Amino acid sequence: MSRDRDRSDGPARSSDESTPIRRGPNPPTPTDDGDSRFGLPFGPRWAVARRELGSLRSEKTIVLALAIQLVIAAFSSFLVVGLVSLYDPGSVDGYGNRVAITGVNEADVERLSGLASEQEGLEPTVAQSRADAFAAFDEGQVAAVLEVSRTADGRLVVDATVPDGGLETTLLISQLQELLETLEHEERLANADALEAPPLDVPDEVGASPYLEFTYTILVPLLLFLPVFISGSIVVDSLIEERSRGTLELLRVSPLSLVDVADAKLLTIAALAPLQAVAWLALLAFNGTVIAAPAVLIVLVAALALTVTAAAAGVALVAPDRRQAQLAYSGGIVGALVLSTLLPEHPANTVAKFAIGSATATTWLSLATYCLVAVGGYLAVRAGIERLNSDSL
């Protein structure tokens, strides 16, 4: 008890007085005790990258966009059949629109009827008179009426009558347009002797599957370009959110500069696009879509993603708020898409040619140009951030 009393009677000493505080340097310096966060040159950047990837899971919009792309790539076979049937109804077996053809000249009527019977998706029927044709149209027995006539100078005229509005009408007009173009071609050949100069020879048409055309010209470019655009939007939101919450100022206290923080975020998000491209191309291959040059397409996606994310980082650090930043980013993307139509080869055509294995010298030159623009844009944005006054953010 005396020992306990001696302890209690003595002056109380706080832990702060008994244990001196040892403060380390600020910012922290690399140590040799195995702390990988500061022992490796990319340790702090990797910490920012992991934080950025972790925050993506809470973004419902991004998760939903990834899920949509996953469904498109995983069920590409079913989507191709369904979507192709919308703009090419003749690709679906058993589908056909009945068309009534009438006119004064029986030869012209039979000629148009013969051409219509050769076109998929149309079932022509010759009406005895104009009144019979429109009576069948009013009763819904036929989808359209084609009335053939000739002018005083012998020119062939075809008047088409279709129902008002609706998706079926749009598809029917597309079919009739193809039929009339064929008729026009036949009429030009028949009157070729009346031309002052002989027409140029036109190569014969080569039949191709509509599924093949849709897959390589629409589906594959869509799956490869969407991750690029989404990556740029993520970079804009991430940097703007850091600025608005003040966490960007806290990140600057770490051993990283503003350039390093933006660099880590930019490269992390830019790397997601080619990773998604690998997954989508693998799913397409699993569904039977052969990709001739997948590695080249991944390089192309990486170059475009680096270009877009670099531009997005520059916009996010200059724009005053999220609304104006997203508006500037969206406007820039739309402007880039418009300007891309002036290129010798559109980026979608570049993707299609690499995917189908018919790349030309222009295609390879376009790829090299995209890579150079990506590297140049990244270095330019990095240099701009270095000159940016961080206190103004």
pLDDT tens readout for residues 291-313: 888 999 999 999 999 999 988 88
Q: Write down the pLDDT at residue 41.
A: 45
Same domain, 280 and 253: yes
The CA distance from 393 to 387, in Å, is 13
- Per cent of the chain over pLDDT 70 is 67
User: In the chain, what is the greatest distance between 2 CA atoms, to the nearest angstrom?
Assistant: 133
pTM of the model: 0.59
**Is the model more confident about 260 or about 211?**
260
Same domain, 74 and 102: no
Give 198-249 pLDDT, tens digit per residue: 767 766 666 555 567 777 888 888 888 988 888 888 888 877 877 777 666 6
**Is the model more confident about 165 or about 312?**
312
The average pLDDT across 11-29 equals 48
Selection from 134, 123, 106 nearest residue 179 by Cα: 123
**Is the model more confident about 260 or about 163?**
163
Same domain, 304 and 375: yes
Domain that holds residue 74: 59-82+209-387
Same domain, 220 and 347: yes
Per mean pLDDT, which of 64-68, 116-120, 132-136 is the most reliable? 132-136
* pLDDT over 90 (residue 172): no
The CA distance from 343 to 370, in Å, is 12
Give the burial string for 128-149 (b: 16+ CB within 10 Å, else e). eeeeebbebbeeeebbbbbbbe
Selection from 257, 254, 261 nearest residue 27 by Cα: 254
> At 185, which CATH number?
3.40.190.10
Same domain, 268 and 186: no
Same domain, 287 and 174: no
Q: Write down the pLDDT at residue 59.
A: 59
Give 4-19 pLDDT, tens digit per residue: 444 444 444 444 445 5
Same domain, 100 and 140: yes
Residue 164 lies in a domain: yes
